[in-house]
Structure 1
Amino acid sequence: MSVEFTAAPLLFIGALWFLGFGLCLFITRLQHCCFQRLHHGFSQLFFALALIILILFAIAAITGCIVLFIGQGKFHRSSASTLDFVVEQANITVEELRNVSKYLTAAKEIQVDQIFLPPNIQDNIKKVTSKITAAANTLDRETEKNKDKIKHILDLVRIALIIIAAVMLLLALLGVLFSVLGMQLLTYTVVLIGWILITITFVICGLFVILHSVIGDTCVAMDEWVQNPTAHTALDDIIPCVDRATAEDTLNHSKDVTIQLVGVVNTFITNISNRNFPPNAGSLYYNQSGPLVPVLCNPYNSGRTDHNCTSGEVKFDNAAEEWRRYICKVSERGICSTVGRLTPAHYVQMMSAVNLSYALYHYGPFLVKLGDCAFVRDIFTAIIKYHCPGLRCYSKYIYIALALVSNAVMVSVIFWLFYKREKTALGVHQTPYTYIFSGSFC
């Protein structure tokens, strides 16, 4: 059954109340009314019972208003917390994508001595960074737009519920007061206002029943999706997975760039720093000497599979400390004046390549999550565990409180008129305003 039908009983009651009570208010004045018959024989008993009923339903209405006020505050905080969590996760994804794009772009400028990345790798970097930047900007823009819209709606709902709670509370108190004190005109005024507000409250209650059902169905759908991520659901339009081909393309290019950056460093180490060139070798000679510099461990094989480092290789995390031992002091001509195979300038260039390689390698798991949609599964799991219980609970509080308030005030309105009519003598002069109410309730 569609969730819209879950609110059908409340909406039907609201429509029946509005039409039925309105018909009684404006129906042609009847000569033999039950109010008049009650007045003839059961005044004392009716007064006592009516007063007790008025007080009981006034207490029920006040209780409902208090529950409604507390419930709306908790629902607003819970929904705002859920929204902030989703926005935060989206912002983290955007930031990570931009970081990947930034590191890839920086890799194009990396050089160690006269060794650069191959031209085809630089072209691929340009293509993939364009896609990443566009995806990040789109996600960021849509997230901000949707966040503002949802926050605006949540604020409006909160204000509406606070106003309803305050107005219905005031209405319940004034209705009892005016009817008991016999203030005919004021009693009829709050009755007319209550007639309209009760209808509105029934409608809002029905809407919250629908919202409660939607929240429950969404949480169930999230749980089903977490268990079976390949199934197509309506949630695909809420937080869609990143296109697998795009994510895999980005991951492959980041691995290629990492491989090539490590290759640039190792090419310099193997072909230049670890070789003893004669002074007439031009730029290749800078008087390098001493123990050989260990090469950098490449985290990937040529086929992009994981590579296990050997004992003669340095890893990303200890390369800076290890290579610092091979730095020589340089003369004014830029050549080594002490034993060593790396000039300070070479060391800086090598560490720039290492830092970028490590950064891209570090973002590998993030790109894998983009490809297999694990990041969406993590978001849904957190929402199911930490946010769904509160949203379901507090939305239930609200529609129960609205139902309590609307029903309590509805009965109160009827008994305001009963009580007032019994209290008023049959021959009381009636104003034009109250004429439509006189003798119209049977």
Structure 2
Amino acid sequence: MSPSGGYFSPLFLLLLISGTMMPHNCMAALSPDRDDVLAAHVPLTRLQLHTGRAYNITDKNYWAASVFSGIHGYVIAGIWLLIGLGFGCYIIVKNSRPSSASIVQYPDSSYILFFSFIVFFSILAMVASSFVLVADKGSLHRTKKLTETILDAGSDAQRTMQSTKGILLSIQTLIDPYDSNTSHMLNVTTHMLRRDSLSIQSFIDKTRHSGNEAIVALYVANLTVVIANLVLLVAALVSFIFRWPLGLIIIIFCCWILTTLNWVLTGINFIFHNFAEDICIALDDFEQNPESSSLQSVLPCANSTNSKKLLVKIGYTIHTCMFKINVKLTALPALQSVRNEEDNFGVWKVCDPFSGSPNYTFNPNQCPEDAIPIGNLPTILSRVTCYSSSRNCRDEGRFIPEAIFYKCSAFSESMQELIDIFPDLVRLIQCSKVKQAFSDIVQRQCKPFRKTALELWASMLSLSISMVFLTLLWAAKAYQDKGKNFSRCSIVPDRV
């Protein structure tokens, strides 16, 4: 069972219990003629899911397409590496053969022009590296914040399931002596909630761990390559100024390798940029029209039509239950052999927190001031309960058997506990916390998140292009300076 949707089955079962528990037990016990009362049943229908347009993180084709979107970086990196291998082999073969070619003399202006280009592209590379460092840091922060926002919403749902499980165990303890079937339903539901709660927690832990690893890995890769670039840029200038030809050749070789890595990271950062765009577009689409959103593949609750129908049926069930209880309370005075002004059942009314047809909206504040919560019903019934310690129940107007009273008390308290947790269950079924998290991401986080992702890719692309020109310029400069004598810190060679 997937962690994204597995917990809905036990929740549906739990809410159905509220419709089957009271009418068959307590209401039947309160009825003067003990007629059975039929309860409304809500069929457990599986939510039909469908994938949306382009963004579907559960589809392997999406991830394959995402990886392929960075192919421009991989291809250029491969071409650049092959060119480097070919150029290196050419230099090795050429230097292994004795050459009688004379040293070519260039005008002084060419040395100055070459050096000016090197300085210019070195500055560009340093500026681009600075932008990469800033964007990389911002991207790390934004990505972690977005991830934590989503995972925190999942953790909140998991905590709600845990608290619901505890309440179910309490209800099971109350009604187990009176209704083994409902107790068994609760036991099954509790085990399902526990299993799916652990599944969700495991999913969140793994996602948080693997997500953090991926985020940090990209951050460290960008940081490491950029710092290495900066070090090589400074080392190349120092080797040139202090005239260390071998060191310059080694640095050119390292720059060639680093430029290849730059292009690989350019492709990866482009994937990340596309992923950021896809996430924000999908979340915005979900906020505008949840039912047609591609996120339905991971959020079954996105189907608001099914959720509304289910909640209406649950509201109808409890509303009908409360109505019939109030009818029974009105009929109880006819059973009293001795009237007591304090036991005016015709005045007492149980609070029905659901509105009437057609929506059956949950609103606990709509109850009249004189209405009592269903959990307080045992207090009223205790006044007409014939306890074993009572001496003359008939003369005292006590007509409800003690066993029936305890049975009604158990189911009344159970019903009250279900009503108390109903708002949490509604929020869980409707994914309210998840929707709030998505809304927060769309309205507050998406714009800076997309911006930093774009800046990271653009700055890495600029750095890669700068390093290509700079590496070629250093190679050309090494060829230009070959066989010539230079004074320390001199740009122009010594003339003989």
Could you state the TM-score of these two structures normalised by the residue count of structure 1? 0.72
CA deviations over 1:318-375 (Å, ceiling 9, x no partner):
x87xx79x99xxxxx799xxxxx9xxx99x98995575143133335325515xxx66
Aligned-pair distance for 1:377? 4.5
Q: Distance in 1 between matches of 2:465 and 2:355?
A: 72
The match for 1:417 is 475
Query: Aligned pair 1:12/2:66, yes or no?
Result: no
Query: Aligned pair 1:25/2:88, yes or no?
Result: yes
The match for 2:352 is 298
| Conserved 8 A contact 1:182-1:424 | no
Q: 1:72 corresponds to which letter in structure 2?
A: D
Q: Which has the higher contact order (CA 8 A, sep 6+)?
A: 1
Query: Aligned pair 1:79/2:163, yes or no?
Result: no
| Conserved 8 A contact 2:290-2:302 | no
The match for 2:278 is 217
The match for 2:266 is 205
Cα gap change, 1:89/1:310 in structure 2, threshold over 3 Å: closer, same or farther? closer
CA RMSD of aligned residues (A): 5.0
The match for 2:460 is 402
CA deviations over 1:21-78 (Å, ceiling 9, x no partner):
3312221328999x987x4132x11221122122211111111111111111110111
The match for 2:33 is none
Aligned-pair distance for 1:387? 2.7
The match for 2:441 is 383
Question: Residue 180 of structure 1 is aligned with which of 237, 241, 244?
Answer: 241
Query: Aligned pair 1:68/2:132, yes or no?
Result: yes
Match of 1:209, SS?
helix
Q: 1:296 corresponds to which letter in structure 2?
A: V
Match of 2:353, SS?
coil
In the alignment of these two chains, the number of paired residues is 403
Task: Give the unaligned 5+ runs of structure 1.
Answer: 279-286, 328-332, 336-340, 429-442
Please list, as runs of the form range in 1=range in 2, the aligned pairs for 1:17-416 lying within 5 A after superposition.
17-27=80-90, 28-29=93-94, 39-42=104-107, 44-110=108-174, 120-231=181-292, 233=294, 235-241=295-301, 290=342, 292=344, 294-300=348-354, 306=360, 311=368, 313-316=370-373, 352=413, 355-363=416-424, 365-366=426-427, 368-369=429-430, 377-416=435-474
Q: Which moved more, 1:375-384 or 1:87-96?
A: 375-384
The match for 2:8 is none
| Conserved 8 A contact 2:290-2:304 | no
Q: Distance in 2 between matches of 1:263 and 1:119?
A: 26
| Conserved 8 A contact 2:225-2:261 | no
Q: Distance in 1 between matches of 2:350 and 2:293?
A: 45
Q: Which moved more, 1:51-60 or 1:417-426?
A: 417-426
Q: Distance in 2 between matches of 1:182 and 1:245?
A: 76
| Conserved 8 A contact 1:223-1:384 | yes
Cα gap change, 1:245/1:3 in structure 2, threshold over 3 Å: closer, same or farther? closer
Aligned-pair distance for 1:153? 1.2
Q: 2:353 corresponds to which letter in structure 1?
A: P
The match for 1:338 is none
Aligned-pair distance for 1:157? 1.4
| Conserved 8 A contact 2:157-2:428 | no
Q: Which moved more, 1:156-165 or 1:294-303?
A: 294-303
Q: Distance in 2 between matches of 1:88 and 1:223?
A: 19
Q: 2:360 corresponds to which letter in structure 1?
A: D
| Conserved 8 A contact 1:316-1:358 | no
| Conserved 8 A contact 2:304-2:430 | no
| Conserved 8 A contact 1:274-1:292 | no
Identity over aligned residues, as a percent? 12
Q: 1:197 corresponds to which letter in structure 2?
A: L
Could you state the TM-score of these two structures normalised by the residue count of structure 2? 0.65
Q: Distance in 2 between matches of 1:300 and 1:388?
A: 38
Cα gap change, 1:131/1:260 in structure 2, threshold over 3 Å: closer, same or farther? farther
